[in-house]
Amino acid sequence: MRQIPLEIKAAVIDELVPSEESLSDPFSNVALAWPDVLFRIRERRFHSVVIDTRKRLVSFLKLVNSTPPIALAVSKIIICDPLTNQDIDVLKQLCALLVNVSALSCGFPMEKTNVAEALRVLPSTVTDIVLSYAGIWTAQEVLDVLSLFRRMETLEIDTHGSCPGKYHGRFCCPALRYLALSDGGDLLHHFSANLEFPCISSLCLLFCRIAPPILAILNRASKVWERSLKEINLRDVWSDNFDDVDAFIFLPANLEILRLDIEVKDHSLVNLVIRTLERCVSSGSPFPNTASFHFKFQGVHPNCILNDPDIHRLDAVIGSEALGLRNLEWRYYEEEEFECTQQAFVDTRARFMTEEGRNKYGTKFCENQMSRY
């Protein structure tokens, strides 16, 4: 019987997916039959490791100590909240062995632990970081952790609220490209004031209340990173019902993509967006070539927007030649929402949503129906 080529065996391994419904390991029998692809099995099985209990932490450390090549296969480590200070020494031993880790996801519990001591021994290969904080952690505590990873390229942080205090220090992350903050207006202030991100190209704010102080921080950050920033994404944000008629979102000259979630009943946010777009028109400032809008109808019947003067004003500026928008993505949940916005956004539909308009103005349109789940 002819031997199966190694590359075909490796391809078979790559197609195996563990089932969430089954406790069986799809790699076990293959390892017995094809011991020559054990290296690929380890890469798949131990690519991502979850540490969520002391028992799992201790058992995995024993496994790595008994079979050192397993440590080389770990690319991502996920550390969850239940760990306590009693586990830190064991975690530190494990982190010191994971020399090829490039991604870290870590939850910091409400009861503060010294997880940072264990993270300190992770290799400099860590580039993708996700941090989540329960309870109140100060800016100094959060940024002290980040200072351990000067080579990070992507960073996502959820502080679940305020991040008080000052940060006494300054450091540079020359490779950081993507920054996402959940409910993180306080942190955005510290980042733009105390950290140097010379290559940051994408900024995302999630679950954030756009009150005047937060808007000022956002605009300041956009100006600090004006040369490199290519994308601003405001997802699941809401306003604070402020009526500052001069307020607007500062859009850097090099910005290529603007993504906005807009709550239809949030007139303060709608007007903030209108002023931002109209300012680009009146001042001649460049507007991004691509925009993505998601109009949310929670608590509002879609037909209510048909007679909304603010929506008509927003439609007029989005669909105007003066704005210069070329690529439009329209995100929605229900078909009814999309059909209603087509009726309300007359100028936008004429410019982007019809083949005649796209041919006439050289525009592109993409509709994206999203799942609520």
Give domain status of residue 263, yes or no.
yes
In a domain, 278, yes or no: no
259-291 pLDDT per residue, tens: 999 888 888 999 999 999 999 999 988 999 999
Give the pLDDT of residue 232.
97
CA dihedral sign of residues 42, 43, 45, 51: positive
User: How many folded domains does the chain comprise?
Assistant: 2
Do you know the residue count of the chain? 373
Strand, coil or helix: what is 108? strand
Q: Is the pTM of this model over 0.95?
A: no
**DSSP helix/strand/coil, 222:** helix
Q: What is the pLDDT along the chain (373 residues), one digit of tens a residue?
A: 357 776 666 666 666 655 444 445 666 656 656 666 666 666 667 888 999 888 999 999 999 999 898 899 899 999 987 678 888 999 999 999 999 999 999 998 877 888 889 999 999 999 999 999 988 889 899 999 999 999 999 999 998 777 888 888 888 999 999 999 997 678 898 898 888 899 999 999 998 888 888 999 999 999 999 999 999 999 988 887 777 788 999 999 999 999 999 888 888 999 999 999 999 999 988 999 999 999 887 777 767 788 889 999 999 999 999 999 999 999 988 888 888 888 889 999 999 999 999 999 999 999 999 887 6
3-state secondary structure 253-281: CCCCEEEEEEECCCHHHHHHHHHHHHHHH
Q: Is 313 among the domain residues?
A: yes
Q: Could you tell me if residue 331 is inside a domain?
A: yes
- Residue 237 placed within a domain: no
Instruction: Quote the CA–CA distance of 342 and 226 in Å, as a whole number.
Output: 34
Is 128 in contact with 157 (CB distance < 8 Å)? no
Q: In this structure, what is the dihedral angle of CA atoms 87, 88, 90, 91, given to the nearest 10 degrees?
A: 110
Side-chain half-sphere exposure of 361, counting CA atoms within 13 A: 25
Please check whether residue 177 is in contact with residue 225, taking contact to mean a CB–CB distance below 8 angstroms. no
**How far is Cα 243 from Cα 77, in angstroms, rounded to an integer?**
46
Range of the domain at 27: 1-45
Q: Is residue 367 part of a domain?
A: yes
Cα torsion 230, 233, 239, 240: sign: negative
The answer as to whether 178 is a domain residue is no
- Residue 19 has what pLDDT? 47
